[in-house]
């Protein structure tokens, strides 16, 4: 069984001329695949396409990608499939080549064995020192320029701290190194708006839809870091973890509260119904 | 003759697990090599080391790198050698692996056949719409997260426009997509300070040193884009082009002036003396 497909073919190496290597000139998706079925598939592929449009990279065929994900995950009860789409090979220099032949990588990884307690009792967060630069042209999409996240994740070794929250240069909460951030403040579900930096997560989008459908008060807006101290509940989300409540961030303590619990239940129902 | 060395060995492909591909987790240098001699070698290797220190990547051995550059360029009168140093292979996730084995790429490219008139009559610039995000942790070094430059260079196809100037989100001049920027304003040589974004070019550093040695009035400071209209002279610099005067930027016209000419001569002397 192969665990890497490069433009549909088994392989382990790519050309050193690939622009993903030189410039991070591409996009990625990290997908939970359960019994061969990729969760949140439509949202993943939509974000990948939005990213390709933003960067001017030809869109990968979604049927082909779906087949390759199925092929690589076919013998696994649960695995992670990462897709990378780059602008492909080019010469020296930033200017994209006149004819672009994107590189399509589909890679399988083991599903991480996260302790179940993270979803029930919650996790500890930290606030990272590494700031996020703001650039509306790159905000929201899941591009390959991820040094800020690498530096932020390098800030701590303490295994008790599970995730780090990143701020923009003006001290707004943006997202976690690998997750989106939600706060419940005065009963309102709040999440940072991401028009200047951050990644628009597929679970974040699902939770926004669920909150709107269920009449849960929702606010998508810039949120200053000091608002953490005013939150009744805090949680993080991504496509592999779903929702993890936050029980601690530095000196602040949070309880696993009713809004978080309700959204966990709604998300589970959505996943079970196959709507995700 | 090989034109690519991967960790010292001839090759054309690297592992898809390399973190340069996934996150742009590394650094690069683009070096003019003339008759086997890499110009500005000490400045290139110093910047590469500064970048490695900033990102927490083990420093490549400078003697080994110098040998590999010599080896790959040995039969060429003039060529470009690009070095990439990445954090090497890793698993999924931003966290750097506990044991890092950097990847070292040394690649040869033809020396570009720029028209000589660019250095004598000057070039046309544009001001790009793509802004530069600000992040002091990434400023100055030549890291592999270059989507901003790719997007900026994608903005125009007009072959008469040779370079694009990029601004930060507050409207300060920062640098060109592939060069640094200098203005002469009221007889003072001015260049943007680069503590929040931009790349500290090796020729920029050389010119700063030359100006100080020669008593040329120098100002390194934030410069608003409107100051372009007040400049008597404008030029751009990098390791391959040296200095190109700017004769036009949008509606603005500039002459190739005495400060630019003097610095071109000083730079040529420095290169001839082998001090670069």
Walk across the sheet containing B26-34 and list its strands: B9-10, B4-6, B103-110, B78-86, B26-34, B37-38
Residue of A nearest to B13 (CA): A15
Q: A153 and chain B: CB distance < 8 Å anywhere?
A: yes
Per-residue model confidence (pLDDT) at position A185: 98
pLDDT digits (tens, 9 = 90+) for A30-86: 999 999 999 999 999 999 999 999 999 999 999 999 999 999 999 899 999 999 999
Per-residue model confidence (pLDDT) at position A17: 97
pLDDT digits (tens, 9 = 90+) for A105-118: 999 999 999 999 99
**Cross-chain Cβ contact A16/B15 below 8 Å:** no
Q: What's the gap in Å between the CA of B276 and the closest CA on chain A?
A: 23
How many percent of chain A have pLDDT more than 70?
Answer: 99
Complex ipTM over 0.90: yes
Cβ(B94)–Cβ(A150) below 8 Å: yes
Rounded distance between C-alpha atoms, residue A94 and residue B12, angstroms: 20
Mean pLDDT of A196-212: 98
Query: Which residues in chain B have Cβ-Cβ distances shorter than 8 Å to A27?
Result: none
Q: Which of A84, A94, A147 sits opposite B153 (nearest CB)?
A: A94
Angle between helices A41-55 and A202-214 (to 10 degrees): 120
Half-sphere exposure at residue A268, Cβ-oriented, CA atoms within 13 angstroms: 9
Per-residue model confidence (pLDDT) at position A274: 76
Entry pTM: 0.97
Residue of A nearest to B28 (CA): A22
A21: pLDDT strictly greater than 80: yes
Per-residue model confidence (pLDDT) at position B79: 97
H-type alpha helices, B27-61: 41-55
**Cross-chain Cβ contact A144/B80 below 8 Å:** no
Structure token pair of residue B78: 């003039």
B236: pLDDT strictly greater than 70: yes
Q: Which of A14, A55, A80 sits opposite B13 (nearest CB)?
A: A14
Residue of A nearest to B112 (CA): A92
Query: Which residues in chain B have Cβ-Cβ distances shorter than 8 Å to A16?
Result: 4, 6, 11-14, 105, 107
A1: pLDDT strictly greater than 70: no
Per-residue model confidence (pLDDT) at position B274: 77
Query: Which residues in chain B have Cβ-Cβ distances shorter than 8 Å to A144?
Result: 21-24, 147
Q: A79 and chain B: CB distance < 8 Å anywhere?
A: no
């Amino acid at each position: 069984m192969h665990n890497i497909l490069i433009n549909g073919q088994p392989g382990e190496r790519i050309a050193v001329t690939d622009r993903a290597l030189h410039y991070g000139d591409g996009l990625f998706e990290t997908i939970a695949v359960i019994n061969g079925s990729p969760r949140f598939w439509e949202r993943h592929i939509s974000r990948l396409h939005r990213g390709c449009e933003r960067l001017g990279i030809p869109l990968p065929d979604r049927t082909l990608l779906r087949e390759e994900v199925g092929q690589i995950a076919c013998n696994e009860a649960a695995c992670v499939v990462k897709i990378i789409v780059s602008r492909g090979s080019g010469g020296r220099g930033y200017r994209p080549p006149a004819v672009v032949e994107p590189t399509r990588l589909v890679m399988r990884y083991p599903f991480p064995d996260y302790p179940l307690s993270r979803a029930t009792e919650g996790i500890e967060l930290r606030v990272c020192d590494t700031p996020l630069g703001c650039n509306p042209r790159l905000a929201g999409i899941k591009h390959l320029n991820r040094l800020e996240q690498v530096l932020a994740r390098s800030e701590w070794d303490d295994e008790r701290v599970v995730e780090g929250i990143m701020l923009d240069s003006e001290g707004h909460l943006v997202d976690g190194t690998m997750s989106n951030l939600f706060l419940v403040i005065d009963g309102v579900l709040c999440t940072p708006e991401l028009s200047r930096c951050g990644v628009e997560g597929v679970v974040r989008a699902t939770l926004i839809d669920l909150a709107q459908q269920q009449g849960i008060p929702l606010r998508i807006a810039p949120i200053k870091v000091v608002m953490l101290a005013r939150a009744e509940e805090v949680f993080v989300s991504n496509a592999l973890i779903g929702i993890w409540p936050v029980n601690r961030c530095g000196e602040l303590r949070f309880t696993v509260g009713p809004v978080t619990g309700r959204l966990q239940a709604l998300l589970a129902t959505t996943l079970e119904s196959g709507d995700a």
